[in-house]
Structure 1
Amino acid sequence: MLVFKHKADLKEHLDQSRAQGKKIGFVPTMGALHQGHLSLVLNSARENDLTLVSIFVNPTQFDNPEDLKNYPSSLEKDLDLLESTGKEIVVFTPNTEEMYANKVISGSFDFDGLEHQMEGRFRPGHFDGVGTIVKALLELAGADRAYFGEKDFQQLQIIKKLAEKENISTEIVGCPILREANGLAMSSRNERLTPELRNQASFIYKTIVAAREQFGMKNAEDLCEWVENQFNTIDYLKLEYVEIADEATLKPVKSFNKNDRYRLFIAVFANEIRLIDNIALN
């Protein structure tokens, strides 16, 4: 497994691989890898000859400096996990200066309104930061396919829009959410939860599954109100938002059309640790 820290060295290796006719898959990550990340890597390995994994905690997508400071980091463990797959993997581990030089600021993007919904409302500037780093990484990698988890479904839709608007030829592939045994969506942030809180946070998944079972019997507003009421009964999780949106536009809906696809989105604080999840309703 090769590890590169500099863009020029990585690009040279990827160009050589392409010249040999190799198909390249790409999995961008912020490290603290878990089985959810590994599922993306294995999906890529099945569909490509070589998989590039980037590990970079992108400062411009954090609206809360404390969140950036506390974001988990475990590079050696990450590299061991990737090497254990036995697949042809190349790892890119740049520092901030390598990616941003002396100008650590976001670009400005128009994602046709996708960026103003849900996470965009609660995390100002977040998707400009995401767009900035993902555009740079996709253009550097020049991969045939790039893999993203559906846990960050809004981000997935925005990256598809980014590729379309920036004429990036890489196919953006969405992959199913991987969950812990208790249903909690796998996330690097879970590592910051105490064992007790990690178990209690399974309430998030149990609640959205129960909401899905009521789909078609309640309108969207009543269903969201039902979820809010469930969280009002407990004190160890604080609901930030719950929203039912059209999968294509991410706009909130009040009623349902049988020809459209809908998804429930939720953000919850477990103490100061922010967790997000979503579930397809139909």
Structure 2
Amino acid sequence: MNTFKKIEELRTELLNHRLKNKKIGLVPTMGALHQGHISLIEKAKEESDVVAVSIFVNPTQFNNPEDLEKYPRNIERDLDLLSKAGCDIVFTPDVNEMYGSTHDLKINFGVLENSLEGKFRPGHFSGVGQIVSKLFNIFQPHNAFFGQKDLQQFFVIKKLIDQLSFPIDLHMVPTKREINGLAMSSRNERLSQEERLEAGLIYKALQESADAILNNTPINHVIEQTNELFKQNQRLTLEYFEVVETDNFTGISTVSDPRKTALCIAAEIGKVRLIDNLLLNY
């Protein structure tokens, strides 16, 4: 496994692989790796000749400075996990290497910018678009792999690829979960064991809501029931729960196409914000 901190050195390495007609698969991460990330690498190994991972805590996608400061970092552990997972290339730049003296570029994703995560985290998707565009330009991968847990982010990146004509095949990898259903996340490291157990309610709520919708319970009733469920819990605070179409991530009142319908949720426990989702045709 080769590790790089400088863009030009990384580009030289990648060019050597492209000249040998090797397919490059990219897994962008912010570190604090877990089995969810490893599942992305496993999928990348199936689809690519060379698996490359970036580790960079991107400041432009954090609208909360405290969240950025507390984001878990453990580069030594991450590198060990990547080596054992069979990763070929790791890119670990610092902020100056990625952005230089300024990073004021803004990208607007239209309706995706103002719904769900975009609404509750102003500027977040602009920052995501900025860093992913840079990584795509630096790596020029044939394949890119992202987890379903960040479903809205996946469709933001799909829009980025489609509208900027990146010649990249985008892959969505299913969410890896703890035993109690809690979606694996780097932020879970900030939870106590008791909070982790309690947070299993998030996935339970998604499953019960999806089953209710598939059994023809009106969506507005399902939303009311989910809000009531969280009101009865003393630890978890519900930020939003919506049923949306993945074309635009705006709320719907009836299901027109289950294949394009998702249940999306955000909740806070122990000052840690957690998100999850379930595609209706799960």
TM-score by length of 1: 0.97
Displacement of 1:160 = 0.5
Secondary structure of the residue aligned to 1:215 is helix
**1:46-76, CA deviations, whole angstroms, 9 ceiling, x for partnerless residues?**
1111011000000010000000000000100
What is aligned with 1:224?
223
Displacement of 1:250 = 1.4
Displacement of 1:258 = 4.6
Aligned length: 280
1:73-152 matched pairs, under 5 angstroms: 73-85=73-85, 87-105=86-104, 107-152=105-150
Q: Contact 1:146 / 1:171 at 8 angstroms: preserved in 2?
A: yes
What is aligned with 2:244?
245
**1:24-65, CA deviations, whole angstroms, 9 ceiling, x for partnerless residues?**
000000000000000001100111110110000000100000
Displacement of 1:104 = 3.4
What is aligned with 2:197?
199
What is aligned with 1:169?
167
State the percentage of identical aligned residues: 43
What is aligned with 2:19?
19
Displacement of 1:224 = 1.0
Runs of 4+ off more than 2 Å: 258-261
Alpha-carbon distance in 2 for matches of 1:134, 1:119: 17
What is aligned with 2:178?
180
Alpha-carbon distance in 1 for matches of 2:261, 2:147: 18
**1:142-170, CA deviations, whole angstroms, 9 ceiling, x for partnerless residues?**
00000000100000000000011112111
Alpha-carbon distance in 1 for matches of 2:110, 2:126: 13
What is aligned with 2:254?
255
What is aligned with 1:9?
9
Alpha-carbon distance in 2 for matches of 1:184, 1:88: 26
Secondary structure of the residue aligned to 2:221 is helix
Displacement of 1:111 = 2.2
TM-score by length of 2: 0.97
Alpha-carbon distance in 1 for matches of 2:28, 2:122: 22
Amino acid of the structure 1 residue aligned with 2:278:
I
Secondary structure of the residue aligned to 2:213 is coil
Displacement of 1:259 = 6.5
Is 1:156 aligned to residue 154 of structure 2?
yes
Q: Contact 1:49 / 1:88 at 8 angstroms: preserved in 2?
A: no
RMSD: 1.1
Alpha-carbon distance in 2 for matches of 1:47, 1:112: 31
Alpha-carbon distance in 1 for matches of 2:171, 2:110: 20
Deviates more, 1:190-199 or 1:212-221: 212-221
Displacement of 1:192 = 0.4
Compared with structure 1, are the counterparts of its residues 259 and 209 closer, same or farther at alpha carbon in structure 2 (3 Å cutoff)? closer
Q: Contact 1:26 / 1:51 at 8 angstroms: preserved in 2?
A: yes
Q: Contact 1:30 / 1:58 at 8 angstroms: preserved in 2?
A: yes
Unaligned runs of 5+ in 1: none
Unaligned runs of 5+ in 2: none
Displacement of 1:88 = 4.7
